[in-house]
Amino acid sequence: MLSNRQRFWFLVLPGAGFLVVFLVLPLVSIVVFSFWRTESYTMIREWNIANYTVLFTDWTYIKFLLRSLGMASIVSLVALIYAWPVALFIARHGGRFKLIFLLLTSAPFLTGEILRVTALQQILGPIGVINMALGNFGFEPIEALMYTSTATAIGLTYLWIPFMVLAIYLSLLNFDFELLEVAKVNGARPLRAFWEITWPLNRAGSAIGVVLVFIPTLASTITSQFLGGPDGALYGNILAHQFGATGTWAFGSAMGVVLFAISLIVLYIVWKSVGDLRRSGVTIKGAGEL
């Protein structure tokens, strides 16, 4: 007879081994490659830190990184503020439609980034339906929607807000709304009850949501490429460029490592700010209520 311990590892090892070989090792390998150099599309093993020197001293790259960081911060914040009342409504007043309400917010995510951006282009942009309608009715078009960073921000919010709603909702599933009644009986106004009870007890949901929106937004390539216009390029676009036209893989690796390092730092900061995850709401059991 196998022990529980053996059974556990028997079930876990295939997937864990797979993830180590096809996810962890490739990520480790780009750290190695980032210290090599590239010559006419081939990577050459000559250890150097030139890639990082360029990355941290050339203002071009710093500028794109800062732009992406700003974009990711704004999009995460907007998504957080918008997702909260929505998730609250579904969790508290969704009744027997909870699951369908939630799935309807997540469903568009599964249609894929490229098709979602295609659809958005028909709405925003110079010949998008909004500006065409304004033009046809004799109004000035909205410049901000035509290939600008605002359009990119709208697009990224469109893409990733489902994650925010989902994360906050999962946290709220474990939240005892009776606490709010108690607060009310004791004279707290709804807003104060929210800030002193609902928000702090569900900060893990907010934190996970922020990370899940921040990371893909920081690495965004497609959205900025098609909605941001010629001046709207973000860090991800420059990164992707190293693997396209220029073929400078080693430098691209260094850019990837920086992106990954920032993701980890954000994850760490957010994690630390939450404190004990279990005490603040998210558990596997909560997910079971789905």
Partner 1 sequence: MRRQLSIAMQAALLGALYVFLYGPIVYIAYVSFQANSVWPFPPETTFDHYASLWQERDFHAGLANSLLIAGGTGALSSLFATMAAMAVLKYRVAGRGLVAALFLAPLFIAHVLIGISSLMFNKAILGLPGNILSAILANSTYATAFAFLVVIAQLARYDWRLDDAAMVFGATPGRAFREVTLPLIWPAILGAFIVSFLLSFNNLEISFYNLGAVPTLPTLAWGSLRHGISEELYALAALINLAVFVLLALLYGLLRSGLLKLDYKD
- The residue from 93, 179, 195, 275 that contacts partner 1 (CB under 8 A) is 93
Select from 256, 169, 148, 243 the least CA-distant residue to 212: 169
CB closer to partner 1, 74 vs 267: 267
Show Cβ contacts of residue 27 under 8 Å, excluding neighbours closer than 6 positions.
260
CB closer to partner 1, 118 vs 246: 118
- Residue 39 Cβ vs partner 1, minimum distance, rounded to whole Å: 14
CA 126 to chain centre: 27
Interface region with partner 1, contact rule CB under 8 A, candidates 7-15, 47-55, 56-64, 137-145: 7-15
Q: With binding defined as CB under 8 A, does residue 275 bind partner 1? A: no
Distance CA 106, CA 98 (A): 13
- Residue 149 Cβ vs partner 1, minimum distance, rounded to whole Å: 19
- Contacts of partner 1 in 230-259 (CB under 8 A): 236, 239-240, 243, 249, 252-253, 256, 259
230-233: long-range contacts (C-beta < 8 A, 24 or more apart)? 230/147, 232/147, 232/148, 232/149, 232/151, 232/152, 233/64
- Residue 7 Cβ vs partner 1, minimum distance, rounded to whole Å: 6
- The residue from 54, 74, 78, 86 that contacts partner 1 (CB under 8 A) is 86
- Contacts of partner 1 in 153-172 (CB under 8 A): 158, 161-162, 165
- Residue 259 Cβ vs partner 1, minimum distance, rounded to whole Å: 6
Rg of the chain's alpha carbons, rounded to an integer? Answer: 23
Q: Residue 37 pairs with which residues in a beta bridge?
A: 44
User: Count residues contacting partner 1 (CB under 8 A)?
Assistant: 88
Q: With binding defined as CB under 8 A, does residue 212 bind partner 1? A: yes
Residue 83 in contact with residue 161, Cβ under 8 Å?
yes
Interface region with partner 1, contact rule CB under 8 A, candidates 16-24, 49-57, 145-153, 195-203: 16-24
Ranges of beta strands (E only) in 120-248 are: none
Q: With binding defined as CB under 8 A, does residue 138 bind partner 1? A: no
Give the SS3 label for residue 43: strand
Select from 236, 198, 201, 231 the least CA-distant residue to 215: 236
Q: With binding defined as CB under 8 A, does residue 18 bind partner 1? A: yes
Q: With binding defined as CB under 8 A, does residue 25 bind partner 1? A: yes
